[in-house]
Structure 1
Amino acid sequence: MSDSPGAARKVAGATYTPAGDGYFEKRTLKRSAGIWGLWGLAVAAVISGDFSGWNFGIAFAGFGGMLIAFIILVAMYYGMIFSIGEMAAAMPHTGGAYSFARSAMGPWGGLVTGAAETIEYVATTAVIVFFSASYADAITAELLGFSMPAWVWWIILYVAFIALNAAGASISFRFAIVVSIISIAIILVFSAMAIFSGAFSWAALWDIAPDPGQTEFLPHGVLPILFALPFAMWFFLGIEELPLAAEESHNPVRDIPKAGFWARGTLIVTGLLVLFLNTGVIGAEATGVAGEPLLDGFRAIVGDGAAAVLALFALVGLLASLQGIMFAYGRNMYSLSRAGYYPRFLSLTGKRQTPWVALTVGAAIGFVALLVLDIVTQLNEDAGSVAGAIVLNIAVWGAVVAYLLQMVSFIILRRKYPNAERPYRSPWGIPGAVIAIVISALIFVGFLLNPTFLPAIIAIAVVYVVLLVGFGLFFRHRLILSPEEEYALSGGSHGDPQAEGYDAMAGEVFGAKREPNA
């Protein structure tokens, strides 16, 4: 299309400017995924949570409290993924959470929700890089006799996985399937070893001494279940990224809901196996403080002699999630940038049709955060675990905010766009979204009541102040008619780039002639 620089139009509290010739051609994604590629992406993004991170909830609430937290989270994720599946099928474009909230709550709601996912995915990637570097260095020290500074490993991991994700969507999806299968196989092997070796003990699940007046099932009482909920999220955190692959799916309307269903079932099974068997092998008390619980479980069964090989198994799970979560932040930043909420250069794609600029910038932000973490650790040797927890909690806090706002968006959209096409409808409907809202709110309250999480809340508040001020003063006046924006502005009648191309509403908004499939 051809537009003059002065053709900007104010709509819905924001100012839209013409995309201009070649804008979307420079921001093209390639359709490469079927249902199993999407399944692999979802499982890969989450599976490292089975290897470590979840277990700290046992220290707060005991095994019984952690089991209750797991059951609560299963209900939350069922309600949420059903709801997200319905919205993703109705809005088959890359925006995901930002798109849902944008349609329901306007540009400001879209930014707040999209930014929460950016924070979640960039922080989660940094956490995975941090632990992957530790595992990798231990392996090379044991097997090859050399060690490197942590920051060198961070660079290697970021560069390697930027290259993998930038090499092409088809490569990313195939890699996700392979590492997901390998990670599941490792968990199944551990489970068989735990059961048939005799290392599993039912009594070990209850070896935390109860507080006065409490029971072995809930050794610290009921309230700590709230504190365990954020750690139970690690069994599922990241599965909600599936809608971000909509423009790279052959049939997003059909495949994203189905992939979400199968991935959720897979993760429930692996999570229960790890929760029961890992805890029953090394004991609840040891599990609650273990930095690498699955690895400790392997060691308890076969001894320390094969520690380096076992660490390699654990590293596979971490790298699976590194791939999946990096994919997520790349597409999240890409969609917000393409629509003008973030600097537009972040959405540029290269010959491989992947958002390599967003991948690189997100990695740079994560690397700087890890450097700060390293400096804090060196200045205060007692702060290492605290600083690491801050980054972990930032990721979970971002996820909880995004979950809450997406479920609110689901309810609003059911009422706001009652006649919009919904090829897939959540079997739990609005009650399912309400269940997810209530549980997300409980996790939110748990954050507020636990002083350990205060630094994460402060860090996120600072990020939001910067983003909201920047949007209010500048970016709000430079939005683009991306598919996400077109869906919102048209009340659900536009916004499917697979069916109608890009810039479909240019003529309606700017009065300009639109080139077909531009």
Structure 2
Amino acid sequence: MDPTSTGGIEYEKVDKDYFENRQLKRGAAGWLLLVGLGVAYVVSGDYAGWNFGLKQGGWGGLFIASILMATMYTCMCFALAELATIAPTAGGGYGFARRAFGPWGGFLCGIAILIEYAIAPAAIAVFIGAYCQSLFGIDGWMVYLGFYVVFLGIHIYGAGEALRLIFAITALAVIALIAFIVSMIPYFSVDRLFDIAPTDAVGASAFLPHGYIGIWAAIPYGIWFFLAIEGVPLAAEETKDPKRDLPRGLIGGMMVLLMSCALILVFGPGGAGSAALQDSGNPLVAALESPNVFNGPTFVSRFVNFVGLAGLIASFFSIIYGYSRLVFAMSRAGYLPRVLSLTNKRQTPYVALIVPGIIGFLLSLSGQGDLLILVAVFGATVSYVMMMASHIALRIREPNLPRPYRTPGGLVTSGIALVLACVAVVAGFLVDPRVVIGAAVVYAIFIAYFAFYSRHHLVAAAPGEEAPAVL
């Protein structure tokens, strides 16, 4: 290899076989599959995880936090839709930040997304265990391992097959959400939203039982309603027409998620009571079987429980897809060990699927789904800051850059998302600072790896890279 140094970054030439062994399957997804992928990334957030925000902020705190995060994600999706048409590579946010801030920016953003996407399946695996316990009386490491093995295997088999299966599972999960909402409507009572007793915190009331600080503490769980929708651009290299399909997939998926968030947040606690759901691992089933609703198992609760498992699987399955494409892109460019970007005969990045999967499985053994959410949210919010800063920087530095899709509102839209993302970064410290500090330490270790090793071994001519002296 012939290394060339530029600005403290060193690039190496590779032979033609390098990229031939690192190819994804083109044309595997159209815009409708991308909408399904966007919803699939997130739909598990409707089935479990959001309700822990009731414990942190009460219904009012979670309600306000969810409105703020819905605003952030909506603005962010509009900005990402523009960025995705500028740099449509499998790296998603890593590619956007790389274009705006160079290799250091790309690495910092990419690793933050990797923390989010590697940890989120571990949290979802814990919730899958809770649903399996309710349905079949089994939980624990065997459940987690079984789901990891089966769905990693499907992904390794082929991208097109995986995306179509994700779409089918997601459609079923959405049907179950509709069944849940329709079943809860007759039992709705405003009083049940506010049945958590107020504390002595500043600003505490029936609406905000944990005071004003509860709003901030509930933000990570408001994020859980939307976490990972930003992963749609990770499918760029397997999309038929990325400049048209990626904006449609992002915005279409976000519209579905906004509706599901609003309905679940109102009719779940409004039927069963906020206090009854604040600690539940499967809150939709707990709501249906609560004394205020059906007071025990029914056909509807078992249907939602069974198909709710499908909803969790949809997110588990799709986020595995997302992290594998991110790891593939960063490894192919040399930011991560290059072996991680190898693809098989069916053009799937099998090493990038397996290695983070093993790490996620080991973390799921903690059984602490609520704390794993905090780690995932830390990575996510750091990446949001980087991506929105990338949108602003590219608008200012390269105003004439071809943009097949332009963000409505321009810098104002991405600026709103940036401010809210900065607020969200800090929110996790209010819930459990030790967990967030631990995530920050892991982030720092990755940064050290880049500073001392991989920035000296980046790959010239990798998609999204710029090494003029080599090229």
What letter matches 1:462 in structure 2?
V
Q: Would you say 1:23 and 2:2 are equivalent positions?
A: no
Q: Distance in 2 between matches of 1:46 and 1:388?
A: 15
Q: Which segment drifts farther, 332-341 or 307-316? A: 307-316
Seen in structure 2, the aligned counterparts of structure 1 residues 189 and 159 have a Cα distance that, compared at 3 Å, is: same
Q: Deviations over 1:57-79 (max 9, x none)?
A: 12222222222112111210111
- Secondary structure at the aligned position of 2:18 is classed as coil
| DSSP 3-state at the match of 2:10 | strand
Equivalent residue, structure 1, for 2:48:
52
Structure 1 position 484, deviation (Å) = 4.1
Which residue does the alignment assign to 1:425? 406
Q: Are positions 1:205 and 2:193 aligned together?
A: yes
Paired letter, 1:210:
P
* Superposition map of 1:383-462 within 5 A: 387-448=368-429, 450=430, 452-462=431-441
**Aligned partner of residue 297 in structure 2, secondary structure:** helix
1:334 to 328, 338, 355: 328
State the distance in 2 between where 1:133 and 1:484 align. Answer: 39
Q: 1:104 aligns with which of 100, 113, 121?
A: 100
1:118 aligned residue: 114
Question: 1:141-290, aligned counterparts within 5 Å?
Answer: 141=137, 147=138, 150-195=140-185, 198-211=186-199, 214-290=204-280
Distance 1:399 1:169 in 2: 24
Contact 2:176-2:304 within 8 A present in 1 as well: no
In the alignment, the residues of structure 1 paired with residue 204 and residue 458 of structure 2 have an alpha-carbon distance, to the nearest angstrom, of 56
Distance between the aligned counterparts of 1:291 and 1:220, measured in 2? 22
Measured after TM superposition, the shift of residue 125 of structure 1 is: 0.8
Q: Confirm or deny that 1:128 pairs with 2:124.
A: yes
Deviation at 1:220, TM superposition (A): 2.7
Cα distance, 1:482 vs. partner?
A: 4.8
The Cα of 1:466 is off from its aligned counterpart by 2.2
The answer to whether the 8 A contact 1:138-1:308 is kept is no
Say yes or no: does 1:322 pair with 2:316: yes
Q: What's 1:494 paired with? A: none
Q: CA deviation at 1:447?
A: 2.6
CA distance in 2, matches of 1:124, 1:468: 21
Query: Post-superposition shift, 1:455?
Result: 2.1
**Secondary structure of 1:218's match?**
coil
Kept in 1: contact 2:460–2:470 (CA 8 A): no
SS at match of 1:317: helix
Q: Kindly state the Cα deviation for residue 483 of structure 1 after the two structures are TM-superposed.
A: 4.7
Measure, in 1, the Cα distance between the counterparts of 2:45 and 2:249: 19
1:337 positional shift: 0.3
Does 1:347 pair with 2:359? no
- Tell me if the contact between 2:277 and 2:287 (Cα under 8 Å) persists in the aligned partners: no
Of 410, 426, 443, which aligns to 1:464? Answer: 443
Q: Provide the secondary structure at the position in 1 that maps to 2:224.
A: helix
Query: What does residue range 488-503 of structure 1 map to in structure 2 within 5 Å?
Result: 489=466
Of 276, 283, 288, the match for 1:293: 283
Task: Output the CA distance in 2 between the equivalents of 1:214 and 1:319.
Answer: 38
Aligned to 1:22, the other structure's residue is in SS state helix
- Contact map agreement 2:284 2:304 (CA 8 A) in 1: no
Report the Cα distance in structure 1 between the residues aligned to 2:60 and 2:462, rounded to whole angstroms. Answer: 46
In the alignment, the residues of structure 2 paired with residue 466 and residue 156 of structure 1 have an alpha-carbon distance, to the nearest angstrom, of 30
For the structure 1 residues 139 and 285, does the alpha-carbon distance in structure 2 shift closer, same or farther, using more than 3 Å as the test? closer
The superposition leaves residues 187-206 of structure 1 with CA deviations (integer Å, 9 ceiling, x where unpaired) of 111111112xx322222112
* Cα pair 1:183 1:317 within 8 Å, conserved: yes
CA pair 207-482 structure 1, distance change in 2 beyond 3 A:
farther
Distance change >3 Å, CA 139–CA 339, structure 1 → 2: same
How far apart, CA to CA, are the structure 1 residues paired with 2:80 and 2:163?
Answer: 21
CA distance in 2, matches of 1:269, 1:308: 24
- Could you tell me which amino acid in structure 1 is paired with residue 392 of structure 2? I
Check the 8 A contact 2:113/2:379 in 1, yes or no: yes
Distance 1:130 1:11, change over 3 A: same
1:479 maps to which residue? 458
Question: Which structure 1 segments of 5+ residues have no match?
Answer: 142-146, 374-383, 490-504, 512-518
Amino acid at match of 1:392: I
User: In structure 2, what is the Cα distance between the partners aligned to 1:233 and 1:111?
Assistant: 23
2-structure distance, mates of 1:126, 1:57: 19
In the aligned structure 2, how far is the partner of 1:411 from the partner of 1:297?
43
Contact 2:268 / 2:287 at 8 angstroms: preserved in 1?
A: yes
SS state of the match for residue 404, structure 2?
coil
Q: Distance in 2 between matches of 1:203 and 1:482?
A: 61
Residues 185, 132 of structure 1: alpha-carbon distance in 2 compared, 3 angstrom cutoff: same
- Describe the SS at the equivalent of 1:510: coil
Residue 409 and residue 211 in structure 1: after superposition, are their counterparts in 2 closer, same or farther (change >3 A)? same
Cα deviations by residue, 1:328-362 (Å, 9 ceiling, x for unpaired) = 11011111100000000101111111111100001
Q: Deviations over 1:389-412 (max 9, x none)?
A: 332211011101010111111111
SS in 1 for 2:165: helix
In structure 2, the CA distance between the partners of 1:332 and 1:343, relative to structure 1 (3 Å rule), is: same
Looking at structure 1, the residues matched to 227 and 55 of structure 2 have their Cα atoms a distance apart, in angstroms, of 20
Residue pair 1:111, 1:341 contacting (<8 A) in 2 also: yes
Identity over aligned residues, as a percent? 38
* 1:12 to partner: Cα distance: 3.6
Partner amino acid, structure 2, of 1:436:
A
Q: For 1:58 and 1:362, how far apart are their aligned partners in 2?
A: 31
Alignment of 1:304-315 (within 5 A): 304-306=296-298, 309-315=303-309
What does the per-residue CA deviation read over 1:165-213, in whole Å, with 9 as the maximum and x for residues that have no partner? Answer: 1221111211121111111111111111112xx3222221122233467
Unpaired runs of at least 5, structure 2 = none
Asked if the contact 1:79–1:428 (Cα under 8 Å) also holds between the matched residues in 2, the reply is: no
TM-superposed deviation, 1:313: 2.4
Q: Give TM-score scaled by structure 2 length.
A: 0.94
Q: How far apart in 2 are the matches of 1:11 and 1:112?
A: 19
Aligned equivalents of 1:189, 1:331: Cα separation in 2: 34
Alpha carbons of 1:410 and 1:117: their partners in 2 closer, same or farther (altered >3 Å)?
same
Confirm or deny: 8 A CA contact 1:403 1:437 kept in the other structure: yes
For 1:199, give the aligned amino acid: Y
Pair 211,136 (structure 1): closer, same or farther in 2 beyond 3 Å: closer
Q: State whether residues 139 and 309 of structure 1, in contact with CA within 8 Å, keep that contact through their aligned partners in structure 2.
A: no
Partner residue in 1 for 2:470: 510
1:446-481, Cα deviation, whole Å (9 max, x unpaired): 233x1x422222222322232122222221111113
The one of 84, 89, 96 aligned to 2:85: 89
Shift of the 482–50 alpha-carbon distance from structure 1 to 2, 3 Å rule, reads: farther
* Mapped contact 1:118–1:333 kept (Cα < 8 A): yes
1:27 alignment partner, SS class: coil
